Chain A
Amino acid sequence: MEELRKHAKELLENKTVAAILAYVEAGPQRTKPAIITKPEDVSKMVFNEYCLNNLAVYLTKARIKNLAKQNGTVMKLGIVAKPCDIHAVVALIQESQLKREDVYIIGMNCHGVVKDFGMEFSGETLASKCVPCETHKPLYYDIVLGEEKQTPAVSDEVLAKMQAIEKMTYEERFEYFKKEFDKCIKCYACRAACPLCYCQRCITDKTIPRWIESSPHSRGNFAWNVVRAFHLSGRCIGCGECERACPMDIPLSLLNRRMTETAKEAFAYVSGRSIETPTLVGSYDVKDSDELFM
């Protein structure tokens, strides 16, 4: 942690970065995101198992981008990022929302985070997104910090649940998801927390014509959740922030995971792993499977 603070201080003092998106302490076993702009504030920075937020979500926000524009030049923005957050940064670069040279990635070695604040870190409280995670070291970075530790090995509950759903009949599945989506209150927290939901104007906010009914009833909820999952298919990097942000505990990761698996099975593609690769849904291959079409 001292290493992180020292490095952040240097970056701010040298004016390498205009600001650093970082985690600060917010009570016992709890952190919150912060924008560090002054060298004297670096002492508040922390990095531990309670750094749940994916800070990449802020990189596309106009207010944050403006911080980097000083005296007519564009400075870098620093970001303290776990390896999974770096996938989001890479996906944003792939989708031309960000330039690699505009961001300074302080990559942190990570052995997983907890499900929620206030829990002692162990195999039982390991966040479900960390279970299938394969990247404990940053893939893209300007510097890597933090110690390497072993991630506790636990069984993949999301995958098991997904496979259980796939074994159900169509009626049971529809009923299951209808019940889950019925809880939705259309607060769009899932959209706000997602680093890849960066559209200036979301399709659900468009009213002429209104494609997705915005009142929280089962029909509109179904449409919204289908469209959200579809717009992230082949793009979702699996940071699980949507599910964590959901106040109604809708198992959104079940949907995202299914789409991630489809991308793997049908196109051998994993989002956010390489800056050079074109995005999956933004490109095509004439050799793609034609099985679906009569």
Chain B
Amino acid sequence: MKEQNWEPKIVAFVCNWCTYTGADLAGTSRLKYPTNVKLIRVMCSGGIDPVFILKAFERGADGILVSGCHPNDCHYNAGNFHARRRWTFFHELLDYLGIDKDRLQFSWVSASEGKKFVDVVSKVVNDVKAMGPFKGYEQLNKEFMTEFPDVSGVNNDVIIKEGEAV
């Protein structure tokens, strides 16, 4: 029963200038897309460090979407070109380590492509639903919690006090 009601957690890292604005357009156009996706806005797809992805998996994400401006449309001229090379490696590496390629997906969505954003998100959600929960990382998390029971439920990663320099 629990398995049937399971809904995937999807984290989307989107760039401020294109995909986030595209998502905004999807909203203002009253288009509907699955609510499984949680958007995280970053300034550029080139600024998304692969450790963000790992952290999202550690925090229980079942699938991740990374999206930015189309090639040649980057607000910073070359951010997405640099990202493209890096993701090629990272995607291959995760695949090799046994993380299904569909758990981490990429797209280019421009500010005017509200419809495309809806399609992309729906595709990612459907793909992840078909695969089911991310058992591999769940196991890693479970072991972590058994080994360090005191910190379960405590976010010990990001403790930043107000006004503190990072």
Contact = CB atoms under 8 A, between A and B. Distances in A.
Interface of A: 165-166, 168, 170-178, 203, 208-213, 215, 217-220, 222-223, 226-227, 229-230, 233-234, 255, 258-259, 262-263, 266-267, 280-281, 284-286, 288-290, 292-294
A293 B88 contact: no
B136 A281 contact: no
B148 A230 contact: no
Dominant SS among interface residues on chain B: helix
B100 A170 contact: yes
Contacts of B140: 178, 218-219, 222
A290 B69 CA distance: 13
B82 to A, nearest CB: 5
B106 A294 contact: yes
A10 B97 CA distance: 50
B98 A211 contact: no
Given A170-B98, A258-B93, A210 B157 contact: yes
Interface residues of B, number: 49
A290 B71 contact: yes
Contacts of A203: 51
Contacts of B141: 219
A280 B96 CA distance: 20
A210 to B, nearest CB: 5
A281 B93 CA distance: 15
A219 B58 contact: yes
9 contacts: A171-B136, A208-B160, A208-B164, A208-B166, A209-B157, A218-B144, A230-B89, A262-B93, A288-B81
A63 to B, nearest CB: 30
Contacts of B96: 165-166, 173, 255, 258
B107 to A, nearest CB: 4
Contact of B98 (A177, A227, A288): A177
A45 B140 CA distance: 48
Nearest to A175: B98
B12 to A, nearest CB: 12
Given A258-B96, A259-B89, A259-B93, A294 B58 contact: no
A126 B116 CA distance: 54
B54 A226 contact: yes
